[in-house]
Amino acid sequence: MMARPLWKGVITFGLVSLPVSLFSATDSHTVRFHQLERGTGDRVRNKRVNERTGREVPFDEIVKGYEVSEGQYVVVEPKELEEISPGRSRTIEISAFVDLADVEPVYFDKTYYLAPSAPEHAKVYQLLTQALATSNRAGLALFSMRGKEYLTAVSAVDGLLELHTMHWADEVRDPHAEITELPAREAKFSGAELRTAEQLIDALTVDWKPEDYHDTFEEQVRELVEAKAEGREVAVSKGAPPETTNVIDLMEVLKQSLESARGGERPRARKARKGGAAPKTASTPKATGGKKSTSRARAGSGKPAAKKRVTAGGEDLNDLTKAQLYEKATQLDIPHRSTMNRDELQKAVAKAASGRRQRVAS
């Protein structure tokens, strides 16, 4: 079923007018709970109640009121809000264009999609889209919807116009005024520590693929609900929160993190001894005549060993993304899959697929 537009109106820039429809770009998939009374399981509901009479008030009888003094209100009807800004709620008037790189992310709030309202408007829509994409600019406009005015930025992505609602300047807090514990700008780290941190960032840099990431907490909540509904024991998440890195151990921690990242492993949090060197871990390379030895090096050769191929049902799992492995783990009903990294998902999928083949064969 096609989504229904949230709003219809016109984008204007200069003397050009483009009729458009506005659609929501995101959808929340949070697990929703009802409120129940503990012990009885009875549903608890929120009601709009007149605080003087105790009577429940229907939604269409509720109006907006601005408190001018204690208990004294100025009543404002929805129609009156529309009348003070005629036409504003039906027009996105682009008054200026700005380089997208100049807008700090903190100003962006919510994203919507814009589509031409009819096929005959496609040419103007494509013209604006291409012009914005080529210039890497966004159009700034004021826009009213549901009784509220927004500062918005209209940009182009992959042949599509997007409208981003933005925070006003006085809504963005100054971090230096809000956070008193911010460190001074003077560097308290060494050049070697900075270079190692930069190397670690480079080693962990990946291409942005949003499909590789999942709401793991939501998955855990769903598994918790399913387990309780079936009377199964609820599994407790493994591992404790990471401890603060001791400044004395900082360089050692950076080096071991970098070694793990270069070896294709996720750096793991370690306990640091207070006032002393960091404890050795399994990922620490052993000394071998002044040369580093890693699990990826073949004995007697400086060449890295070929990565072992992992298959399941004849399919090579090495070439699958984390998202694809996660989908297979879901199909195989692998528990705790939402807490696994890519390598753990790959091993779990291979093991589960092998177990399933053995059961079928028997």
Average pLDDT, the chain: 79
Give the CA count within 13 Å in the CB-facing half-sphere of 238.
6
pLDDT of residue 258: 84
Average confidence (pLDDT) over 298-319: 59
189 secondary structure, DSSP code:
S
How far is Cα of residue 266 from the mean position of the Cα atoms in its chain?
20
Average confidence (pLDDT) over 32-43: 91
More confident residue, 223 or 305: 223
pLDDT at 13 over 60: yes
Query: Comparing C-alpha atoms, which of 268, 220, 215 is closest to residue 241?
Result: 268
* Percentage of the chain modeled with pLDDT above 90: 30
Average confidence (pLDDT) over 207-212: 83
pLDDT of residue 134: 93
More confident residue, 290 or 4: 4
What span, in angstroms and rounded, lies between the C-alpha atoms of 202 and 194?
12
Query: Over the stretch 112-131, which tens digit does the pLDDT of each residue have?
Result: 999 999 999 999 999 999 99
pLDDT of residue 190: 85
Average confidence (pLDDT) over 48-72: 90
What span, in angstroms and rounded, lies between the C-alpha atoms of 351 and 124?
55
pLDDT at 239 over 70: no
pLDDT at 311 over 60: yes
pLDDT of residue 213: 77
Query: Comparing C-alpha atoms, which of 109, 244, 106 is closest to residue 175?
Result: 106
pLDDT at 14 over 60: yes
pLDDT of residue 347: 86
More confident residue, 28 or 81: 28
pLDDT at 217 over 50: yes
pLDDT of residue 303: 44
The amino acid that residue 355 corresponds to is G
Contact 52, 151 (CB under 8 A): no
CA distances to 253, 280, 281, 349 from 285, rounded to whole Å, are 13, 9, 9, 29
pLDDT of residue 302: 43
pLDDT of residue 301: 40
48 secondary structure, DSSP code:
-
pLDDT at 96 over 90: yes
Task: State both tokens at 327.
Answer: 């989908």
More confident residue, 80 or 38: 38
- Can you give the pTM of this predicted structure? 0.61
Query: Over the stretch 133-184, which tens digit does the pLDDT of each residue have?
Result: 999 999 999 888 877 889 999 999 999 999 999 999 999 999 888 888 878 7
pLDDT of residue 116: 95
Query: Over the stretch 242-289, which tens digit does the pLDDT of each residue have?
Result: 777 776 778 888 888 888 888 766 555 444 443 444 333 333 333 333
